[in-house]
Amino acid sequence: MASKNAWKLSEVVTLVVLSVALGVLWWGWTFFTALLTPLNAIGLNYLFVGVWFTGGTLVPFLIRKPGAALLGEVLAAIVEGFVTQWGITAAIWGLAQGLGAELIFALYRYRRYDLTVLMLAGALSGVLSWILDFFYSNYFGLQAWVWIVQVVSVIISGALLGGLLAWLIGRGIVKTGVMQGTIEQDE
């Protein structure tokens, strides 16, 4: 592998610790969404899940290496899983979500990390996550209109809360200068 792609020690540590911190941050969001569980019934709960895809969008935005999306999302999901006691299932969902994001970044050859790419990554994370839910919670038997509401919601949420939000936070972090020496600041 070209040395450009080799992971430096500081990048590995930063990726892991950043993902853990993100997992802790998600924990706060969990309380908020818990209040909205009634919306589960009509599929609108999916409007708020995008925040949980940010491991696959924010982390690679800051650490632009192949695998960052997958690892970031899985690690953050595991932390979230431990803190909220969902356990291993959280890791499996994280894997699906991370894979979705990773695919998008791979599609752009790990060269583009702008808003559009992040939103696409968030959206695909959402779709894959929904597919997993489809089997795990057996949506097959549900009425078709519920599926449509769910998929549209998860795509919107993934793009906005998973992509746009990650982009805003990521740029905020870059402007603080903590990433100096690791990525270029645009404009």
For 182, the token pair is: 């690791």
Closest approach of Cβ 120 to other proteins, in Å? 21
CB of 60 to other proteins, least distance (A): 14
Cβ-based nearer residue to other proteins, 3 or 85:
85
- What's the rounded Cα separation, in Å, for the pair 27 and 83? 7
Residue 9: how many CA atoms within 13 Å on its side-chain side?
0
Decide: residue 102, CB within 10 A, 0-12 exposed, 13-18 middle, 19+ buried.
Answer: buried
Contact 150, 49 (CB under 8 A): no
What minimum distance in Å lies between the beta carbon of 107 and other proteins?
26
Cβ distance to other proteins smaller for residue 109 or 181? 181
Residues that bind other proteins (CB under 8 A): 9-10, 12-22, 24-25, 27-28, 32, 37, 40-41, 58, 62, 75, 78-79, 82-83, 85-89, 134-144, 146, 165, 168-169, 172-173, 175-181
Nearer to other proteins, 116 or 182 (CB): 182
Residue 175: how many other CB atoms lie within 10 Å = 10
Q: Which is nearer to other proteins, 107 or 146 (CB)?
A: 146
Please give the structure tokens belonging to residue 145: 């209109």
Least CB distance to other proteins at residue 134 (A): 6
